[in-house]
Amino acid sequence: MFTFTDNSFIEAGVVILILIPSIIVHEVSHGLVADRLGDPTARNAGRLTLNPKPHIDPFGSILLPALLALANAPIFGWAKPVPVQPGHFENPTAHMAITAVAGPVSNIVLATLLARLVYPALSGVPEEIVLWLIFINLLLAVFNMLPIPPLDGSRLLPLVLPSRGREAYRQFEQFGFLVLFALLFIFDGALGFMSDWAIWMLEIVIP
């Protein structure tokens, strides 16, 4: 989409360095909102910090994004999930949905701030890197709103499902990773629409 070097390995490394703080902001946002809604689990686990160490998932934060970047595929990843105990919430279903959506919203807010405050003041290589940072945050938001467990979008469906439907959906959750794996590596181009959506959002947030 946009490049700042002809070396794909260097570009993949830069993408990972951009992705890591983006997914940390995402996970910390989950924990902060859960804490405000009555669940102190993330705070007690030391996860309300921007220190990368407690959050990094070797596969989801480093290996997978690097492979996707080298393959010129849609780039996304994840950190270790922030622990949440819905039993602490007054309304577990609704508050879990609010906690979930906080992650993608944080990425959209971060992308918008960068686009409005930082990007217009730059030119050259730094501009391209900030453009990547904006784009990757928007891509993370799109990816995480897919209604596939354990992604954040899967926490919104119980809001509209009847009790029987919620139970059936809970049974489906154990297969969520298999579905994601198939979409990523078996059905070529199945998630290609995410880049299109992220580019559409990019055109909106950049003045």
Q: Which residues are catalytic?
A: 27
Q: What is the token pair recorded at 80?
A: 């270790």
Distance, CA of 196 to CA of 109 (rounded, Å)? 19
- The answer to whether the beta carbons of residues 99 and 37 sit under 8 Å apart is yes
Computed on alpha carbons and rounded to an integer, the radius of gyration of the chain in Å comes to 17
CA angle, 180 as apex, 165 and 43 as ends, to 5°?
Answer: 80
Cβ contacts of residue 146 below 8 Å, gap of 6+?
153, 154
**SS3 of 10-62:** HHHHHHHHHHHHHHHHHHHHHHHHHHHCCCCHHHHCCCCCCCCCCCCCHHHHH
Q: With beta carbons less than 8 A apart as the criterion, state whether 127 and 3 touch.
A: no
Cα 152 to Cα 95: distance, rounded to the nearest angstrom: 13
Q: Which of 56, 63, 64, 62 is nearest to 80 (CA)?
A: 56
